[in-house]
C-alpha cells in the first residue's frame, strides 16, 4: 500500500506530494508511522542545494511516530512503541566515535545514499537525511530510532529530533553556559527558540534575542529572552549597552550568514565564547584580522547537532519537559499538512515564524 510523501525530484525543483511504496523492514530496520515532522532550515538547504544529497529523495529529518514493524535482530523497540527519529546515528567505530564525539561521526549520513523507497511508477528514492520524515510512514535503520521517554506528547516530540537537541546542546555542550552568564541568541526560528529556552534553563542572568523581525519579540520573550534587539549594523553596540559596555559572555548564532556570525563575534565580551549553530553556504565568507583575534581573546567554535549524543540527551530533555522547564509546543508557530511544506520554506526565507510542524 502506498503512503503519501513529499519528494524532491531534483535539486532546486519544487517538492511533489505523491505516493511512494515502502519495503517491509529488513534485518536491522524499523518501520515507523509518523505522528509529526518538523520543517527545519536544513531541509530547505537540501532542497536548494546548499547541502548535497542524492536525488530524488524524500526530505524531512525531524520526526516522531509509532513503530509499525521491526526487522530481524531489532530488540530495543517493538510494534506500538512511540519513538523519536535520529537522523545522525553514530557508527561507534570511526575516529570521532572513538573519541566520544558521536555528533561528528564520519559515517552518520551513509544511509542517505541508500534506496529508501520507490514512487508508484518505480522510480528509486533516497532518504534525504537518513530518515525521510516527510511521509506518512518510513523505514529506517534501527540506529535511527530512539524510544520516546514517558511524559512527552508524541506530536511535539518530533522537535526533539533536531531543533531541541541542537539548541539545548549549543547552550549546554558547545558554549557551556554557566549560571549567571549573559547570552545573546541570533535568529529566532525553531532552533533559536530552543536555544533561548535552554539558556533560561542554564540560569543565564540576561538572555538577549536578536532577529530581523519585530514580530518575533513576543515569541522570544515567551521562550526566555529578557531583551529583544532588532538586527542591524548597530546590533553589537546595542548589546554592549545592555551589558555594561562589555558584551555578552556567550553569543550563539543560529542563522548561518557571514553578517550574523560577525555580529555575534562583535557582541561577545573580551574572553567570551561565540558559537555558530547556523549552516551557511560556502560563499558566506567571514573575515577577522590577526590583531583582533589576539586582542579580544574570544573563542569561536562551530556546533554540529548541538554536540549532542541523542541517546544520552533525550532522557534529560524529557525530564525538562515533564518538569515544565522546556515547552515544546511554544516552538511551534504553525501546524500544517505535507502540502504546506513549500509555504513553510518561503516563510523561512522571509524570516517569519518559529517551527512549522507537519502533523499527520
Kindly state whether residues 126 and 10 are assigned to the same domain. yes
**How far apart are the C-alpha atoms of 65 and 131, rounded to whole Å?**
12
Kindly state whether residues 185 and 285 are assigned to the same domain. yes
- Whether 145 maps to a domain, the answer reads yes
pLDDT of 254 reads 97
Query: How does the average pLDDT of the chain come out, rounded?
Result: 95
**How far apart are the C-alpha atoms of 254 and 280, rounded to whole Å?**
10
Q: How many CB atoms lie within 10 A of CB 130?
A: 27
Kindly state whether residues 215 and 242 are assigned to the same domain. yes
DSSP 206-222: EEEEEES-GGGHHHHHH
pLDDT of 360 reads 96
Kindly state whether residues 107 and 25 are assigned to the same domain. yes
309, 103 Cβ separation under 8 angstroms: yes
- Whether 322 maps to a domain, the answer reads no
Taking the model in full, what pTM does it have?
A: 0.95
pLDDT in tens, 309-349: 999 999 999 999 999 999 999 999 999 999 999 999 999 88
The CATH number of whichever domain residue 235 belongs to comes to: 3.40.50.720
- Whether 312 maps to a domain, the answer reads no
The CATH number of whichever domain residue 86 belongs to comes to: 3.90.180.10
Kindly state whether residues 122 and 7 are assigned to the same domain. yes
Kindly state whether residues 10 and 155 are assigned to the same domain. yes
Measured torsion, CA atoms of residues 174, 175, 179, 183, in degrees rounded to the nearest 10: -140
Kindly state whether residues 275 and 208 are assigned to the same domain. yes
Kindly state whether residues 151 and 172 are assigned to the same domain. no
- Whether 318 maps to a domain, the answer reads no
In this prediction, what percent of the chain has a pLDDT beyond 70?
100
- Whether 83 maps to a domain, the answer reads yes
- Whether 314 maps to a domain, the answer reads no
Kindly state whether residues 7 and 132 are assigned to the same domain. yes
Average pLDDT on 148-162 reads 95
- Whether 311 maps to a domain, the answer reads no
> pLDDT at residue 1 above 80?
no
89, 130 Cβ separation under 8 angstroms: yes
pLDDT in tens, 167-179: 999 999 999 999 9
**How far apart are the C-alpha atoms of 293 and 210, rounded to whole Å?**
24
Q: Which residues constitute the domain of residue 196? A: 167-304
Residue that the C-alpha cell 540506529 belongs to: 143
Kindly state whether residues 181 and 290 are assigned to the same domain. yes
Average pLDDT on 267-273 reads 98
- Whether 320 maps to a domain, the answer reads no
Kindly state whether residues 10 and 93 are assigned to the same domain. yes
Kindly state whether residues 183 and 238 are assigned to the same domain. yes
Q: How many domains does the chain have?
A: 2
Amino acid at each position: 500500500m502506498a503512503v503519501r510523501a513529499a519528494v524532491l525530484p531534483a535539486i532546486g525543483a519544487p517538492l511533489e506530494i505523491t505516493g511512494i511504496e515502502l519495503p517491509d523492514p529488513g534485518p536491522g530496520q524499523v518501520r515507523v508511522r509518523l505522528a509529526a515532522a518538523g520543517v527545519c532550515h536544513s531541509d530547505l538547504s537540501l532542497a536548494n542545494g546548499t547541502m548535497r544529497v542524492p536525488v530524488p529523495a524524500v526530505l524531512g529529518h525531524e520526526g516522531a511516530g509509532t513503530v509499525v514493524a521491526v526487522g530481524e535482530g531489532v530488540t530495543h523497540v517493538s510494534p506500538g512503541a512511540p519513538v523519536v527519529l535520529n537522523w545522525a546515528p553514530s557508527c561507534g567505530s570511526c575516529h570521532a566515535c572513538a573519541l566520544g564525539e558521536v555528533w561528528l561521526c564520519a559515517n552518520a549520513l551513509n544511509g542517505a545514499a541508500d534506496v529508501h523507497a520507490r514512487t508508484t511508477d518505480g522510480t528509486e528514492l533516497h532518504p534525504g537525511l537518513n530518515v525521510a520524515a516527510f511521509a506518512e510512514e518510513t523505514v529506517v535503520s534501527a540506529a535511527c530510532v530512539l524510544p520516546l521517554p514517558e511524559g512527552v506528547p508524541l506530536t511535539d516530540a518530533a522537535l526533539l529530533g533536531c531543533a531541541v537537541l541542537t539548541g539545548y546542546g549549543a547552550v549546554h555542550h558547545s558554549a557551556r553556559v554557566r549560571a549567571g552568564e549573559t547570552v545573546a541568541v541570533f535568529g529566532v526560528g525553531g532552533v533559536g527558540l530552543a536555544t533561548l529556552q535552554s539558556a533560561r534553563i542554564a540560569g543565564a542572568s540576561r538572555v538577549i534575542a536578536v532577529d530581523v523581525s519585530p514580530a518575533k519579540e513576543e515569541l522570544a520573550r515567551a521562550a526566555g529572552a529578557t531583551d529583544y534587539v532588532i538586527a542591524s549594523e548597530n546590533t553589537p553596540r546595542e548589546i554592549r549597552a545592555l551589558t555594561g559596555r562589555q558584551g555578552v559572555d556567550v553569543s550563539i548564532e543560529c542563522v548561518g550568514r557571514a553578517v550574523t556570525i560577525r555580529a555575534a563575534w562583535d557582541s561577545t565580551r573580551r574572553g567570551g565564547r561565540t558559537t555558530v549553530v547556523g549552516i551557511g553556504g560556502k560563499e558566506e565568507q567571514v573575515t577577522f584580522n590577526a590583531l583582533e583575534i589576539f586582542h579580544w581573546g574570544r573563542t569561536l567554535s562551530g556546533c554540529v547537532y548541538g554536540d549532542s549524543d541523542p541517546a544520552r540527551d533525550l532522557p534529560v530533555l524529557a525530564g525538562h519537559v515533564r518538569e515544565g522547564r522546556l515547552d515544546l509546543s511554544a516552538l511551534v508557530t504553525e501546524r500544517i499538512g505535507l502540502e504546506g511544506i513549500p509555504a513553510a520554506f518561503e516563510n523561512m526565507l522571509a524570516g517569519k515564524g518559529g517551527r512549522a510542524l507537519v502533523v499527520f
